[in-house]
Structure 1
Amino acid sequence: MQKPLLVTDFLDRAREYYGDSEAVVATTGDRYTYDELGERADRFSAALQARGIEKGDRVAVLDPNTHYHLEAAYGIMQLGAVHTPLNYRLTADDFEYILADAGVDAIYADHEYAAAVEAVRDDVPTETFVTNDPAAVDGDWEGFDALIDGAGTDYDRPEMSEDEVITINYTSGTTGDPKGVMRSHRCETLHAYLVTIHQRIADDDVYLWTLPMFHVNGWGHIFAVTGMGATHVCTRGVDAEWILETVVAEDVSYLCGAPAVLNLLIDHYREHDVPTSGANDVRIATAGSAPPEATIRTVEDEFGWYLTHVYGATETGPLVTTSDARRRFDDDSTDRFAVKKRQGLGFLGTEVRVVDEDGEDVPRDDETIGEVVVRGNQVMEGYWEQPEATEAAFSERAEGYYHMGDLATVDENGMITVQDRKKDIIVTGGENVSSIELEDTLFEHPAVSSVAVIPAPSDRWGEEPKAFVVPESGDPDAPGVAGEELIEFTRERLAGFKSLKRVEFVDTLPTTATGKIQKYELRAQEWEDEERMIGEG
């Protein structure tokens, strides 16, 4: 028997079995059951349908992690329309490009971000504009609550196929214009199943939304948490004091956070010695570059949280690997930190390989570097209206696999460890140097709060490693350590050719909305007077 895999099934299931259970703790202080969340989504569906939105139309959502985002997303998808979440840290020009590129017919935008859309509304195809506080927004915007209050709950849900596109998530556009990643009902559903299994999501979980919902549908948690009937605790941004208070007050059991978020929490904890959990045990997932061992140690040994390191990309669902391989470490042993720093093993049903330039698997020696390629049911259908880019993404080294652009090694157990992005590897004097390895080393120095290492121009070597360091003191003019001392620190711990060559102290590092450091901004700054970068980093 075959039953279509549809994203609408997640809310349908929660309403059927957990209708009177708490679904959402809103940023407004309101609390909604799954029956109430479902009714509000129904009303948004009816309102959109009355304004001409049909199956296949693109509808954008520009919102921090509030209950409105959840209601809008499901209201859109119940019509078979395409949920198109937007990064709220983008500019008006970015929104103009994406809204036009996707041909967005309607948008819901939080009042704090609607002004950037209002600035370009005459230049985009969008005709329906909805916000949660129209009095706070210039221009002609409908209010979300007034809209659904007057809409009723009746709408026509069309017949849908699991192979139809139901979400478009735009990439960050760090190497050109952002690309729309098309995802079908099927790949969203199977990814959510995998997240539920590997992140061990259960109906009694209380999930705190620190990870942006716009970021690949919040790693699929808008589906997985909902489908299991667990509780969403919404936020309007990342504030360390509020997060730790809320973990305790709402008995949070699960959250996600980039290494930068973990550092914010650790800094607040150390300054104020606050509790880190309520009635529930807490587990946290982190992704991107591996957090330093010192960070993992603090989160697990001092906070008492269980940390899992996961890995992926917008194009892959995102999640494709996990470090949560319990047979590979002892919970009471410090050896677990070395395992948790790895990106880890492939998810169920996911083929993760590390291949050389000929597309052949590299040996499992934990030394030979190749590119990570992935094949699985959670991988995208392709880029929106970009067939050539789609073909290139699946064919460079290994035909039929999505190419991650990350360089990694594989150990004897098949666990991968990302060494660098292809563009972040530093080629100095003909040797490849991992910026991640250097960053990890520098994080061990007590005067370093945050760091990014990039290739910098060198007359002698072509390029050489340079570190941008946020000092623990917070003051780049009084960092509490000399640059030469940090250089020597790396020289004592790494091979000579890998050691740091230059240091610049800064007060902040550029980051994405998900807390990932934007090295391309630092590279552009460092290489602006050069014709090209030797390693093309």
Structure 2
Amino acid sequence: MTSIFEQDLPKTQANHVPLSPLTFIERSASVYPDYPAIIHGSTRRTWSETWTRCRQLASALQKRGLNTGDTVAAMLPNVPAMFEAHFGVPLAGCVLNTLNIRLDADAISYMLEHGEAKAVLVDPEFADVIQEAVAKLNTKPLVIDVADVEFVGETQGIGEVEYEALLAEGDADHPYQLPEDEWQAISLNYTSGTTGKPKGVVYHHRGAYLNAVSNILEWAMPHHPVYLWTLPMFHCNGWCFPWTIAANAGVSVCLRKVDPKKIMQLIADESVTHFSGAPIILNGLVNLPDEDKRDFDHAVKVTTAGAAPPASVISGVEKLGIEVTHVYGLTEVYGPVTVCAWHEAWDELPIDERAKLKARQGVRYHMLEALCVADPNTLEPVPKDGETIGEILMRGNNVMKGYLKNPAATEQSLEGGWYHTGDLAVWHKDGYIEIKDRSKDIIISGGENISTIEVEDAIYSHPSVEEAAVVAKPDEKWGETPCAFIKLKVGYGEVTEEDIIAHCREKLAGYKVPKTIVFSELPKTSTGKIQKFVLREEARNQS
């Protein structure tokens, strides 16, 4: 029998609307039209101006023939157009695919083809890569040049139209419209391809909305924060922070390239209150020459994720007056969804003990429904003893829709009603999780994932190599770097570390090239499988 609370109480437009982060920018532009929204060099724009530009972008895309569900790619650094695309593209009903600006033409071409991109925004710094990538496609997308006054170098347009001219085609009063269904895709983010080709992770409007709000809650972020874009907006849509900053009517201080001196300057000059990034950013600030460091008397907070920062780095950053919060997540869950939530009692601990606590991946975000460490097969949670290893499992509205055009991988990753991260961890008695290993052998270097399989394939293509295995080596600056163990073919001739590295540079993006090469026999099991756990220990002991 139907409950009385389900009788004559229908969902209507008055009491049920789709959740979407588009709501955030519309509200901020309405309530705080003259408040600052964008700072980029000499460029200063208000929320009213930014909202108008986003509507113009949406209108212009539609006038160019793009329809609901079409993909718009963006090969852009942290510039205003990238921020605007996070609203203008979904406002047109389209899906935003932010491309990793570090990737080569082959990888970009695959993503454009797989995602069926109808248009691509391109910064002049990456024009050559996009031109080469598009040349490989049978169906060419609309290429839109995005000029940037902060770019130093030759500017050569490769597109059909320049971004500002495209905006001029659009209607400044383009109607604000939410998606018909909050399950509708808002963005497409490609993984780093840890097993074969990169997988396209699909986000929906509801998840983007909720994770954006969760960012505010986890950081206790006040109204009108000043957020410095040290984190790439191409990475998990900047951990959903474009939508977070819109929700809080904050200021986005754009930064084309990560430069510790520039970061310190902007923190002081623009009164930056928040920024995010990999431990390498923190390390860069700590190691700045004294003359490049700046004093500031306002509170500054940073979230860091990836390989846990060393205690000395955390200590050094906090001595600069910057409060560090450690978070953890994956592309498949909209960026960070766990936080090492801090307890005031821990403030009294010695710095090394505080750093050890901060290095843990912590507890779930408010908007993540459930988090556990469990046996991946039985789904039985492991004891909270800080010793028993299991897989990190997650469940909630901020778990991806799935992998684009890959139902088998989607089903496997969401098996049993949980998202299987592939990361192995222990569960402490206080409920905080701590990663101990990565079952996918991912290397996190400077906040970017590196597939050991991809690096090994590049090494194996050298004619001198008989066997190769790549593992993570701890690195003070990058968090982790690739370390390659190689067995050479007998009688091939002399081969040096430099030879292998040079060969890899021809095959891989620069950040994926091994920083350490070790020539040796590779330890194996009785069945011939390389024992990577042994190599990881050896890598840790490398000077």
- The TM-score with structure 1 as length reference comes to 0.79
1:71 paired with 2:90, answer no
Is this contact kept in 1: 2:90–2:96, CA < 8 A?
yes
The correspondence of residues 32-51 of structure 1 with structure 2, limited to 5 A, is 32-51=45-64
**Equivalent position amino acid for 1:130 in 2:** I
1:203 paired with 2:220, answer no
Is this contact kept in 1: 2:278–2:305, CA < 8 A?
yes
**Residues 525, 392 of structure 1: CA spacing in aligned structure 2 closer, same or farther, 3 A cutoff?**
farther
1:355 corresponding residue in structure 2: 374
Query: Any stretches of 5+ residues in structure 2 without a counterpart?
Result: 1-14, 149-153, 444-470, 488-496, 537-543
Is this contact kept in 1: 2:482–2:516, CA < 8 A?
no
1:391 paired with 2:411, answer yes
**Residues 449, 12 of structure 1: CA spacing in aligned structure 2 closer, same or farther, 3 A cutoff?**
closer
SS at match of 2:417: coil
The correspondence of residues 519-530 of structure 1 with structure 2, limited to 5 A, is none
Is this contact kept in 2: 1:168–1:180, CA < 8 A?
yes
Is this contact kept in 1: 2:340–2:358, CA < 8 A?
yes
1:337 paired with 2:334, answer no
Is this contact kept in 2: 1:205–1:230, CA < 8 A?
yes
Q: Which has the larger displacement, 256-265 or 212-221? A: 256-265
The correspondence of residues 195-344 of structure 1 with structure 2, limited to 5 A, is 195-268=215-288, 271-276=289-294, 278-300=296-318, 302-327=319-344, 329-330=346-347, 333-334=350-351, 335-344=353-362
SS at match of 1:409: strand
For the residues of structure 2 that align with 1:106 and 1:94, how far apart are their CA atoms?
17
1:415 paired with 2:432, answer yes
Is this contact kept in 2: 1:187–1:317, CA < 8 A?
yes
Deviation per residue, 1:421-480 (Å, 9 max, x gap): 114499xxxxxxxx88x84xx85xxxx99764868479xxxxxxxxxxxxxxxxx99xxx
**Residues 25, 142 of structure 1: CA spacing in aligned structure 2 closer, same or farther, 3 A cutoff?**
same
Is this contact kept in 2: 1:407–1:421, CA < 8 A?
yes
1:16 paired with 2:34, answer no
Deviation per residue, 1:262-295 (Å, 9 max, x gap): 1111111xx2344445342100000011111111
Question: Offset of 1:174 from its aligned partner?
Answer: 3.1
SS at match of 2:287: helix
1:58 paired with 2:71, answer yes
Q: 1:181 aligns with which of 183, 201, 204?
A: 201
Question: Offset of 1:225 from its aligned partner?
Answer: 0.8
2:454 corresponding residue in structure 1: none
**Residues 525, 10 of structure 1: CA spacing in aligned structure 2 closer, same or farther, 3 A cutoff?**
farther
Give the share of equivalent positions with the same residue, in percent.
Answer: 33
Question: Offset of 1:519 from its aligned partner?
Answer: 8.8
**Residues 332, 248 of structure 1: CA spacing in aligned structure 2 closer, same or farther, 3 A cutoff?**
farther
Deviation per residue, 1:282-324 (Å, 9 max, x gap): 0000001111111111111x21111000000000111121012
Query: Any stretches of 5+ residues in structure 1 without a counterpart?
Result: 427-434, 459-475, 478-503
1:153 corresponding residue in structure 2: 172
For the residues of structure 2 that align with 1:527 and 1:287, how far apart are their CA atoms?
34
1:130 paired with 2:150, answer no
For the residues of structure 2 that align with 1:522 and 1:56, how far apart are their CA atoms?
44
Q: 1:93 aligns with which of 106, 115, 128?
A: 106
Could you say what the CA RMSD is over the residues aligned between the two structures, in angstroms?
3.5
Is this contact kept in 2: 1:202–1:230, CA < 8 A?
no
Is this contact kept in 1: 2:261–2:293, CA < 8 A?
no
**Residues 311, 138 of structure 1: CA spacing in aligned structure 2 closer, same or farther, 3 A cutoff?**
same
Question: Offset of 1:378 from its aligned partner?
Answer: 0.5
For the residues of structure 2 that align with 1:157 and 1:449, how far apart are their CA atoms?
43
Question: Offset of 1:394 from its aligned partner?
Answer: 1.7
SS at match of 1:113: helix
SS at match of 1:226: helix
Is this contact kept in 2: 1:5–1:185, CA < 8 A?
yes
Question: Offset of 1:118 from its aligned partner?
Answer: 1.4
Q: Which has the larger displacement, 227-236 or 324-333? A: 324-333
For the residues of structure 2 that align with 1:175 and 1:520, how far apart are their CA atoms?
18
For the residues of structure 1 that align with 2:294 and 2:92, how far apart are their CA atoms?
41
Q: 2:388 aligns with which of 368, 386, 407?
A: 368
The correspondence of residues 472-483 of structure 1 with structure 2, limited to 5 A, is none
